[in-house]
Structure 1
Amino acid sequence: MELYLIRHGIAADREAYERDRDRPLTEEGRKKTQKVAKRLRSLDLNFDLILTSPLIRARQTAEILLSQHLAPLLQESEHLAPEGELQAWLAWLNSKTAPQGQRLALVGHQPNLGDWTETLVWGTPKGAIAVKKAGVIGLELPNPDAPIGRSTLFWLSPPRMLLS
């Protein structure tokens, strides 16, 4: 399975909102995310499903990806919220309730996305991978029975590489 980890776009300042989960994308964040989504479409990248954190900025990012016809379905997952855990998400992925597909996009937050990437590739987070806002990571996940740390990193792109 191909797994794409996508960080939400540029969001409003924390100070402007009482709750972090309510921070929306800024106008610049929307525009850059739209350009990234168009670039992904031009590369013929599409997903069987987009899973998103329920936080506003991630949901808006996922909706922009959906608007570019990069996936037929969008679903929220609490596992992708900042307090979400990789092990819980993997248990869901391996359950019979998870939608089946070969290409899945996850829209979430840093440091989770960087930590999840490192854990899936190396078996433990090392604090070495930082996903820029609207950045994309691509991983090839082995079969569900394979131990953590056996995934292959095949794409690590900051948004500026997708905007040019």
Structure 2
Amino acid sequence: MEVYLIRHGIAEERAHNIKDEERVLTKEGRQKTEKVAQRLVHLDFHFDVIVTSPLTRARETAEILIASGLSSQLAESSHLSPDGNIQNWLTDWLEPRNYPQKTQLALVGHEPNLSEWAEILLWGESKASLVLKKAGMIGIKLPEIGSPLGRSQMFWLTPPKYLL
């Protein structure tokens, strides 16, 4: 299985009159995310399912990916919210083995969670070494059997500027 960790696009700044979960993509964030999505299509990417955080900015990013044709399936998971936990996500999404081995799964979420998740999958622990830029993507191949923690392999790490 290949898992693509995708950070949401540029969103509104934090403000006292806007709840964090309701912050939307800015015009620039939407445009950059659309360009990144178009480039991924041009590179022949396709995801079997895109799973998004329930927060508005992540959902809008996922909807842009869907609209560009990168997938036809969209799901939401609270595990991808800023307080999400990789162990819970693995238990709920991967342990049941609901997906065939050749599945390409895109997860749209937030920092620092996505970078931490990548590090845990790669090294078994978070080292605060990876940083995923807004609208950037990390691709990780999970092992066919056994726990993916500390046993996965990164094959893609791209900030959006290399896709624009």
Alignment correspondent of 2:37:
37
CA contact (8 A) 1:53 1:59 kept: yes
Task: Report how many residues are paired.
Answer: 163
- Structure 2 gaps, min length 5: none
Distance (whole Å) between structure 2 residues aligned to residue 42 and residue 114 of structure 1 = 25
Shift of 1:17: 4.1
**Contact 1:94–1:144 at 8 Å: present in 2 too?**
no
1:67 and 2:78 are equivalent in the alignment? no
Aligned to 2:155: 154
Counterpart secondary structure, 1:14: coil
Deviation at 1:144, TM superposition (A): 4.6
1:151, CA displacement in angstroms? Answer: 0.4
SS of the residue 1:34 aligns to: helix
Aligned equivalent of 1:105: 106
Q: Which amino acid aligns with 1:112?
A: N
Residues 49 and 73 in structure 1, CA contact (< 8 A), matched pair in contact too: yes
SS across alignment from 2:116: helix
Runs of 4+ displaced beyond 3 Å: 95-101
CA distance in 1, matches of 2:134, 2:36: 11
What is the CA deviation profile of residues 36-87 of structure 1, one whole-angstrom value per residue up to 9, with x for unaligned ones? Answer: 0000000000000000000000000000000011111000000000000000
For 2:121, the aligned partner's letter is L
- What is the percentage of aligned positions where both structures have the same residue? 53
Q: TM-score, normalised by structure 1?
A: 0.95
Once residues 62 and 147 of structure 1 are traced to their aligned partners in structure 2, the CA distance between those partners, rounded to angstroms, is 24
Q: Distance in 1 between matches of 2:145 and 2:88?
A: 14
Preserved CA contact (<8 Å) 2:24 2:60: yes
* Contact map agreement 2:119 2:130 (CA 8 A) in 1: yes
1:95 to partner: Cα distance: 4.0
The verdict on how the C-alpha distance between 1:147 and 1:45 changes in structure 2, with shifts beyond 3 A counting, is: closer
- Secondary structure at 1:63's aligned position in 2? helix
Tell me if 1:94 matches 2:94: yes
Aligned Cα root-mean-square deviation (Å)? 1.4
Distance 1:11 1:106 in 2: 18
Q: Normalising by structure 2, what TM-score? A: 0.95
Structure 1 residues not aligned, in runs of 5+: none
* Aligned partner letter, 2:124: G
